[in-house]
Chain A
Amino acid sequence: MNQAVISCLHANLPAVEAVLKDIELQGITNITCLGDLVGYGPQPNEVIELIKEKKIATCQGCWDEDVVDGLDACDCSYPSQIAERRGHFAHQWTTGKLTKENKDFLANLPYSIRKDKCLFVHGSPNSQHEYLLPDMDAFAALERVENAKAEILFCGHTHQPYIRELANGSIAVKVKNSGSKDIQKKEMNLPMRRIVNAGSVGEPRHGGTKATYVVYNDITNDVKIREVEYDIELTCKAIINAGLPPIFAWRLKNGFEFAERAEDASHVCER
């Protein structure tokens, strides 16, 4: 059966509506959301209300967590001081706009959702702030899936959709301990695992302007990346009218690839 996985909606209502419409047109009713309902975009309450109305299973993203806890993401999450100031402003703006009910909703979202062999998280099983980039060390990537006791790990956070298959692995080790003079040799085969990044509905960073999400068939194990057009102008106008930084609109319009991504994207915030 097909199921849809969406992530990083970022308060962009026209994008969320377009993606949900696209999902509906495919007859898919099973949807999982990987968080970041808010942040950057101009319609945080509207997007949360829509997710609640559709009863979409959702885990908590880094923005959802930070807005609720009153903690702005620390400096390490931003590529520059000016980007950090913009980010902090967007946090304050979003916090000011959110209703108490919607803050409570974000506060009570789970860190992860498990469905059989699939684990759904925002960043990684370690942290909502960790980026699992497509080119990260393959063994480290496999460790994230394996230690989470999953076969397929669905994540978001990078805003770049991809499907990564890690297969035909093995590791050989040589072991010596203080109680023995013998050297033991062991070789083990590594399991095949997959990481699926759902990209971003509300703030794509894959070099294009279309919203992205993925469709997973749990019988055939096929995963497809979907791109969906939406009314970008509408969101851009709402960003400007809300008084949010105009650069948020500009990068949506241009599909700016590396917006707000820290130089060392593999860094995990220890805040």
Chain B
Amino acid sequence: MKISEADVEYVAKLAVLEVADDEKKELAEQLSRIVEYVDKLNELDVSRIEPTPQVVTSVKHAVRDDRVAPRTGSSEAARTVKLFKVPKVITER
């Protein structure tokens, strides 16, 4: 599968990444090589195989007791970070 410069542009838009015009060609070539390599997986018939999104090694259920415990809260976070001003989101039409 070849990745075109238009594909790069499209995927960059999905990922909210800016890709400069002079980067597009190189990225398309590099990604094409990688995607051609991963096409190797097509050699395998996996139609009857279950996916493994995560190797589950934890035996107990993850839900914890509902107890009050000290934890870093948002006020603590605000001490070190300038929270959370963003540019204007809503604009006049």
Partners in one complex: no
